[in-house]
Structure 1
Amino acid sequence: MQPRSVEFRFLAEPTHVNFGGKVHGGMVMKWLDQAAYACAARWSGLYCVTVSVGTIRFRRPILVGHLVELEAKVVHTGSTSMHIFVQVRSGDSKSGELAETNHCIITFVALDEQGNTAKVPVWQPETPEDKFLEQYAIQMKQFSQTVEQQMLDFYQEQQLDT
């Protein structure tokens, strides 16, 4: 069975930060997507595209020189989709003590060589944490679908009123 997780580790560089000396939120979002893509591609063995990103919450800043660690792992699979939980930790590289800065769920779909959706290997939770994260991913998917439908309904109503 293929590995279900990947880890990235690196130092936050001066080119990653804003004028306040903290890493740009957009840079963190790029790292999240890259780590999640590497995880999804590794799991599926295929090219993958991002479908959605949910619940990015910035809890603590990442500073220049901090050690940054991203862990991405498969927490739920559909027939062609993979839900990847990505956790970001950072802290002083000398002490090695890292604290969570943020986490999120990113959903990918695997594509075959013709660009059509392709089946992915099934992932099954084993530990209590696995089961919790799978339920978290399923709930986030359901919530996302509900609010997306509300948005579509709203705009359809707006078009009918004009």
Structure 2
Amino acid sequence: MTDLMETLVENREMVQPNHANMLEVAHGGNVMKWMDEIGAMSAMRFSGETCVTAQVNRMDFERPIPVGDTAFITAYVYDAGRSSIKVRLITEREDLRTREREQTTESYFVYVAIDDENRPTTVPDLTVDSEEGDRLRQVALEGENGDS
């Protein structure tokens, strides 16, 4: 069994001109790619297996990330099935000079754990052993259903 807090992954990507669109903000496709990679890391920490993206339930782009700022991405597993793993992803725009952050993007990805023959394989049960873990899981479950 793996605890939710053990699946928490945070990472930053500096938005460079080659990541930007003609408005000089991060291209949505780059943000999705970064989120997908961080989400897969969270799913693999949870399962101990290679994980592949099966579904993106929702992708809400709320505001842009300008060139020069970072995309601060947080991911954690909030639910799991037999071989599937649900991961909540939040991206924030971060100005490294001021440390100011604001949420830019939120999404819910589903990954599938696979074995050495690329076939779905079982994953452990998710446990939640802290108040913070309970809070994160509840927020994810509500958001997944559009209640956030």
TM-score (normalizing by structure 1): 0.79
Q: Runs of at least 4 residues of structure 1 off by over 6 A? A: none
> Aligned residue for 2:116?
113
Structure 2: tracts of 5 or more residues without a match = none
Q: Which residue of 38, 46, 50 corresponds with 1:47?
A: 50
State the percentage of identical aligned residues. Answer: 29
* 2-structure distance, mates of 1:17, 1:127: 36
Larger radius of gyration: 1
Specify which structure has the higher proportion of strand: 2
**2-structure distance, mates of 1:55, 1:88:** 13
* Number of equivalences: 139
CA deviation vs aligned residue, 1:73-115 (integer Å, no higher than 9, x gap): 0011111110000000013210001100011000001011122
Higher relative contact order (CA 8 A, sep 6+): 2
Q: Which moved more, 1:126-135 or 1:24-33?
A: 126-135
TM-score (norm 2): 0.86
- Post-superposition Cα deviations, 1:20-76, rounded to whole Å, max 9, x if no partner, equal 101111111111111111111121111111110022111110001102210010011
2:86 aligns with 83
Paired residue type of 1:54: N
1:131 correspondence with 2:131 = no
> Structure 1 residue 63 and structure 2 residue 70: aligned?
no
1:98 to 94, 97, 101: 101
**Structure 1 residue aligned with 2:13:** 10
| CA-atom RMSD in angstroms | 1.7
Tell which deviates more after alignment, 115-124 or 27-36.
Answer: 115-124
CA contact (8 A) 2:72 2:94 kept: no
CA distance 1:130–1:28, shift in 2 (3 Å): same
